[in-house]
Structure 1
Amino acid sequence: MSDVIGLHVQVQSLPDGDPEELAEVTGRLRTELLDLDVMAVDPVSEPAEPAHAKGLATVVGWLAIQLRTAEGLRALVNAVRGWAGRTDRVVEISLGGDTLKVTGATSAQQELLISAWLARHAADT
């Protein structure tokens, strides 16, 4: 069992969005996630950008998150899901190279996807 679960969250930019707007909405998501039982929720800076990010413009919208438990992971996914639904945003959650895209899918569809994704990582936590 790992002591720390590290993952990345990426808020997708709107087609007509700009980096400042994306940074603002990502900051609002960060504020909500800090209310959870997390160790850290930090904006990703250029030197620490995820391997699949493509330059500084892609780093805007990224958060690096650390937590300790599977329950914390489920709470984080549920919080992102609620936030994405309220803001009509697409958010990707990446853990160990496995990415969950949280979108405007129906609640039932989204729950099936989330349950399958969490089950894949249950052994890691």
Structure 2
Amino acid sequence: MADLAGPTGLMVQVQPGSDLDPEEHAELTDRLRTELLDNLDLTSADPVDAPSAPAGAKGLGTLVGWLVVQFGTVETLRAVVNAVRSWVGRTNHVVELAYAGDVLKVTGVTSEQQEKIIDDWLARHATGA
């Protein structure tokens, strides 16, 4: 399991859908994790354990769907965001990304809208990784 001590930790939360039970939610999150690890140069992408839970998370059940992704460069951060965006488009699920206290919600909005939102979010962290 991951800890959030590193400065390059990106919190990833696959939002639970009303149609998902906890097991399906965990499987969906694991598919995203596998895709990220298989396709990107990441240090790690691990489930979040209880001591590393973000502020506001309550109980173990809310940790289903959470990953912490460790990366080395802003380019890799951009690649992670783009991979999540593509995954959201294919699966029709919502994913929240949090980095340095800044949250980006990746949804099924149009490509142009999502690209603008992502570019603005990444620009705020261009020197942070």
Q: CA deviation at 1:15?
A: 1.1
Q: Read off the aligned partner of 2:17 and give its amino acid letter.
A: L
Q: Following TM superposition, where does structure 1 have runs of at least 4 consecutive aligned residues deviating by more than 3 angstroms?
A: none
Q: Could you list the runs of 5+ residues in structure 2 that have no partner in the other structure?
A: 1-5
- The aligned residue for residue 7 of structure 1 is 10
Are 1:79 and 2:83 matched, yes or no? Answer: yes
Q: CA deviation at 1:4?
A: 4.9
Q: CA deviation at 1:47?
A: 2.1
Q: Could you list the runs of 5+ residues in structure 1 that have no partner in the other structure?
A: none
Q: CA deviation at 1:17?
A: 1.5
Q: CA deviation at 1:63?
A: 0.3
Q: CA deviation at 1:114?
A: 0.2
Are 1:58 and 2:54 matched, yes or no? Answer: no
Q: CA deviation at 1:48?
A: 1.7
Query: What TM-score comes out, normalization by structure 2 length?
Result: 0.91
Count, aligned residues = 123
Query: What TM-score comes out, normalization by structure 1 length?
Result: 0.94
Q: CA deviation at 1:50?
A: 1.5
Distance 2:11 2:25 in 1: 16
Q: CA deviation at 1:58?
A: 1.1
Give percent identity, aligned residues only.
Answer: 62
Superposed CA deviations along residues 40-76 of structure 1, whole A, max 9, x for unmatched, are 0001111221123222111000001100100000000
> Equivalent of 1:122, from 101, 106, 126?
126
> Equivalent of 2:28, from 8, 12, 25?
25
